[in-house]
Every structure is written in structure tokens, then in C-alpha cells.
Chains A and B, each alone.
Chain A
């Protein structure tokens, strides 16, 4: 019987079979020249198969990759791309939301303020992080960080990875809408640089609430959407099983969004996706982030804000 590993998506399963074969050969105590050759052959096969699968991903497959159970989260990248990180907690009004991690970070010669969604890895962690779904106190913590950044002339870097803002009784009672709206309002005119990177799932208003900025970037296999493909399918198709079609129709992949000029940059992922090689992914992310910081900190801040406002104003397609 074929083994099913939940950490492998259905289209990744053929890779798992090859990986297991390679592992078996590798662990064989009586390695022969023949088995070495066989392993080399399998390795090559593995590379080719990965390429074959990942060169032709459908939008739905990319959506699955963006939400892959092994996909790196903010806290996975932090030690790999920052030289130092001091986490800062709380909105100073109500509480501390673990679905958003924030603090002071150093990357190359840039001191920055970091704000990022955080999903949980194991069951307990997922609940603690509320699956990366922030409540108002999370957005208000983010807002406090932005004010701090503005005051001390530090660029803001945000990592976006959320299914959306938390749909809960407590969140609504504390005015989730206002918390999101206030961030949009402030970010449009914050007097410091803002770089936003979608690292996984850019889920609607909950993503945008830390996603208005000077440079909007997406990791290659991340998604950014007004609604999840499943949600869209159940509303417009009245059938959540039509998520595959909805993913296609919604144009949520980095390539399509760059074509529509809604994002500025795609950050490449290693072959097989970010989760297959955290080191390579981190280095790609770091190089791109440092380049962006180098570039925008050179721009006069008043000019930068004017450019930001023009960019935000330009969103939208209509006939006149």
C-alpha cells in the first residue's frame, strides 16, 4: 500500500516515493559501486521530476503551496535573515496578539522595525498563534510599531502570511473593522519607508492591514487575494469544491499580479518551493530585502511618500 504523508501535497507524492528510495539506498550499510550509481541516477530522476512538477503548477497548486504545512513562517526566517532581533510585545491597550510578531531587527547595515504574521506549526502552536489570524490587538500592536518606526526613522518591513483577520465574537466586539481601517489610513502617509512581502498566504483585509507600502513583493509561490478560493467558490459557485476554478479566476498568483502591476517584485523560491530548502529561500529573501532597503532608503522621504500616494491612487481599472 502506498504511504500517504500529510506533509506532502497530492502533487508532491511522487517525490516522496523517490525520496524514500534514495533514503533507503543511502542508509544501506553495504554500499556498493553499483548502488552508488543507482543513487546518482535516482537523484537525477528526482531533480527532473521536481522540475517537471514545479514548472507547470496550476494556480490551485500554488495556493496549496502557499499554505503548505511545511511552509516557512516569519519565525523561521527571522534567525536566518536578521543579524539580531528583539521582539516587542503588546498594543499597550488590551493585550498581546501572538498571531503577529514584531520587534527591532538588524539586517546587513539596516536597522528596521519588523512586523509579521505568525502561523503555528504543531497543533498546540497553531491554536496559540490562532492560525495566523489576528485580532484587533494584533493590528493595533502593528500600528504601535509603525509609529515607533516613524518616530525613529526606521524602515518598516512586514511579512504577510494569514488566512485573514480573525472572524470571532471578541474580535468584532473590539472593532476589527476599525483596527484594519486605521492601519490603512496611517500606512498611506507614514513618514518612513515600508516594504511588504507576502511570504505565504495573503488573505484579504487581514493581509492588507500590514500591507500598504512603498514596495509590495511576493514570494514566487505565495498568493494574495480578496477572498480564499474556497470562500469564493462557496459564494459564487455555491460549491466549495470549485476552489480550483475560483483560484484560477481570482488571479491570485505572483506572476499574474505582477502583470496587473498590483505588486512590484517577485522573490524567487528554490526548486520545489520554499519549504524544500529554508537556507536557499532565506538567502534569496535576504538578498532581495537588502537590495530593496538599499534602494528606498536612498530616496528622499517626502518624494517616497508622494510616490506611495500616487501608487495607491492608481489602483483600479475602469472606463471613463
Chain B
């Protein structure tokens, strides 16, 4: 028996293999190694499993608390809200689904933006909220992100973005596809001003978000074992008709293939990101580059 098994009540120990049997709230079961720990302890550990270092999902606002200094942290752009311009309806109306998701999550859409400081360095920071339509990018995410970029340019600040997204939001159709162009164009302007953009790819970063703002960082950082890619693994498996290699589209795979700069544990993110921004800004001049 491991130390953990010893401290667990027998009811939970017995049901260890049975997913979903852990009572919500008090206990957390790691989705990777199935270790069960007190939720409070899990949260204190920044939603990272102490046993296998699996980086669990975490809300946009909790991430902001981890990364940004408490002093001077102000949420911005929260007045931008989604509308259902296409009257989209599948099994239910997009409009209704938006309303229920807003109620459930307390968020207006899938991105939260702050102005603030990271170890006293001024930044604008964007955080995807995965529980809102799978962190999908529609018009609101695109608009928030591009205004965030503008604020960086106005204030000569660095930009940080934590991605967690399934891709473009289907219910907004071509409007959402075009947000890929919009966010990439905004980043082009930021780049021209020689202001740093640090992109942190977390589990999962896929599709239209991966193929636009998330891969365009001056520095691209991934959390351990995050699923990152353009096409989803199931689609690839169906297309190529073979089993995917072990660890395919995980952070470690991406680093091996030269697609990201490095992998960074959640607990070290604040210090490392602030070091990098401070290095990149150390000789900053605001003369525009040619492109």
C-alpha cells in the first residue's frame, strides 16, 4: 500500500478504478495516474498531480492569480460579449447554449484579459477559459485578443497568452475562422513594435487557435504533456488508418520536433516568464522593424 492508499477511506480505495466514483468536491482523482488526493491539496499544488506531475486543467482566473502580481491586477475588456449573428441552431440554439454556459461558468466568453504585472514587469495577459465552449475562439476572443495587443503597443508592454482551446468556434462559422487572421494580423503589428509576445500552450491547444495566435509567440512554451496540434488525434487516426505513435502531439513530442522552445512546470512559470520578458525588453527600442 502506498502512503496515499493508507490515508484514503476504504470506500474510495475500493473504487479507485471506477471513474467518477470519487465524490465531487472533497477529493480529486488524477486523470493520468488515478491517484486520489484531497482537492484542497490538489488546488494548493496549482492543479498539478503531486505523484505524476500531470498538469490538470485550471480556470483562466486561477491562472491569472498564479501568474500575475496581486498588486495592480485589473481585468479589462469584460464588456465584450458574444452575439448569435447567424442564428445558429443545431440540436439547440446557440443563443440558448451561450446563456446557459454564461450562467454555469460566470464568464461572458472563452477569454479573460488582465492588465497587470508579472514580478513588477508591466504586461497584458490573456487567458483562455476552457470550460466555456471548450475554449473555442469566436468573435469575442478575437476582438479581446486584438485589443489586448493594441494595449501592449500603447503602453509598450509585453503580451502573455495562455491557450487552452479546441480551436475555432463552429457556431460562429466563418466569423470564427477569420479570427485566426485577425489575431495573427494583430501580432504582426506587435512584432513590428519589437514588443515581446510569450505564448504558453496548455492542454489542449488545437485547431484554429494552435494555427494562429498560439504558435506565433516570440517564445512558445508548453506545459508538460499538453495535447498540442492542428488536427485532432481521432481525425488523424481515421485519415491515415494507423495507430498514432506514443506521445504523439504531446509537449515532449513537439519539443523533440523543434516546434516549441521548452516545457515549463506551472510552479515555475511566473519566475521564468518574467525572466524572459525582462531579457527581451532589456535593450528595447521602439524603432519599427521593416516587418
Q: Hey, what's the 0/1 contact readout for A152-182 against B, CB within 8 Å counting as 1?
A: 0000000000000111110111111110111
Contact between chains at B239 and A167 (CB < 8 Å): yes
A53 at interface by CB-CB < 8 Å: no
CA–CA, A74 and B74, complex, Å:
51
Which residue of A has the minimal Cβ distance to B144? A318
Number of A interface residues at 8 Å Cβ cutoff, please give it.
Answer: 54
- Smallest CB-CB separation from B174: which chain A residue? A262
A33 close to chain B: CB less than 8 A: no
> CB-CB contacts of A288-320 with B at 8 A, as 1s and 0s?
000000000000000000000100110111111
Select one of B80, B90, B181 contacting A318, CB under 8 A: B80
- Taking CB atoms, residues of chain A closer than 8 Å to B80 are 318-320
Cβ B146 vs Cβ A226 within 8 A: no
Is B173 positioned at the interface, with any CB of A under 8 Å from its CB?
yes
Whether the pair B216, A208 counts as a contact (CB closer than 8 A) is no
Bound state CA distance, A193 and B181, in angstroms? 17
| B216 to A: closest C-beta gap in Å | 5
**Does A260 touch B at the CB level, under 8 Å?**
yes
A257 at the interface (CB under 8 A from B): yes
B131 within 8 A of A: no
Contacts of B228 in A (CB 8 A): 177
Interface residues of A in 191-217 (CB under 8 A from B): 191, 204-205, 208-209, 212
**Cα–Cα distance between A257 and B291 once the two chains are bound (Å):** 31
Partner of B142, one of A182, A232, A316: A316
B82 touches A318 (CB 8 A): yes
Is A177 touching B210 in the complex (CB atoms < 8 A)?
yes
Does A102 count as interface, using CB distance less than 8 angstroms? no
Closest to A167 in B: B231
Residues of B within 8 A of A225 (CB): 173-174, 177
Tell me which residues across on chain B come within 8 A of A312, comparing CB atoms. Answer: 178, 181-182, 185
B177 to chain A, nearest CB (A): 4
A235 at the interface (CB under 8 A from B): yes
Known: A169-B245, A189-B185. A318 touches B174 (CB 8 A): no
A250 to B87 CA separation, bound complex (whole angstroms): 10
Docked CA distance A279–B210 (Å): 41
Please tell me if the beta carbons of A167 and B230 are within 8 angstroms of each other in the complex.
yes
Give the distance in Å from the alpha carbon of A184 to the alpha carbon of B187 in the complex. Answer: 10
Q: What 0/1 pattern do residues 107 to 151 of B give for CB contact below 8 A with A?
A: 000000000000000000000000000000011101100100000
Answer whether A251 and B174 are a contact pair too, CB < 8 Å, given A169-B248, A236-B90, A312-B182.
Answer: yes
Let me know if A252 is at the binding interface, CB within 8 A: yes
The answer on a CB contact under 8 Å between A249 and B90 is yes
Interface assignment of A224: CB less than 8 Å from any CB of chain B: yes
B177 touches A313 (CB 8 A): no
- Contact of A185 (CB < 8 Å), options: B79, B188, B230: B188
In the complex, which of the residues B182, B192, B259 has the most CB atoms of chain A within 10 Å of its own CB atom?
Answer: B182
> A309 to B185, Cβ gap below 8 A?
yes
CB-CB nearest in chain A for B77: A320
A188 interface hit (Cβ, 8 Å): yes
User: Does B153 make an interface contact (CB < 8 A)?
Assistant: no
Contact B181 A177 (CB under 8 A): no
Name A245-275 residues within 8 Å CB distance of B: 245-246, 249-252, 257, 260, 262
Residue with the highest number of chain A CB atoms closer than 10 Å, among B186, B214, B215: B215
CA distance A171 to B244 in the complex (A): 13
Please indicate the chain B residues that have their CB under 8 angstroms from the CB of A172 in the complex: 229-231, 236, 248-249
Q: Is the CB of A177 within 8 A of B82?
A: no
Known contacts being A237-B91, A260-B174, is A318 close to B81, with CB within 8 Å?
Answer: yes
Contacts of A250 in B (CB 8 A): 86, 88, 170, 173-174
Distance in Å from the Cβ of A140 to the closest Cβ of chain B?
A: 14
Assess the A260–B85 pair: CB atoms within 8 A.
yes
- A185 and B216 contacting across the interface, CB-CB below 8 Å: yes
| Given known A177-B214, A312-B181, A320-B79, contact A168–B236 (CB-CB < 8 A) | yes
A169 contact set on B, CB distance < 8 A = 236, 240, 242, 244-245, 248
A to B CB contacts below 8 Å, 10 in the list = A165-B231, A171-B231, A172-B249, A175-B215, A187-B181, A205-B177, A226-B168, A235-B170, A315-B178, A317-B139
The 7 closest A-B CB pairs, nearest first, are A167-B231, A188-B185, A316-B139, A184-B184, A236-B90, A315-B178, A177-B210
A interface with B by C-beta (< 8 Å): 165-169, 171-178, 180-182, 184-189, 191, 204-205, 208-209, 212, 224-227, 232, 235-237, 245-246, 249-252, 257, 260, 262, 309, 312-313, 315-320
Q: A224-B174, A226-B174, A317-B139 are in contact. List 11 more A-B contacts (CB 8 A).
A: A167-B239, A169-B236, A177-B229, A186-B188, A187-B181, A204-B177, A208-B180, A227-B168, A316-B138, A318-B140, A319-B80
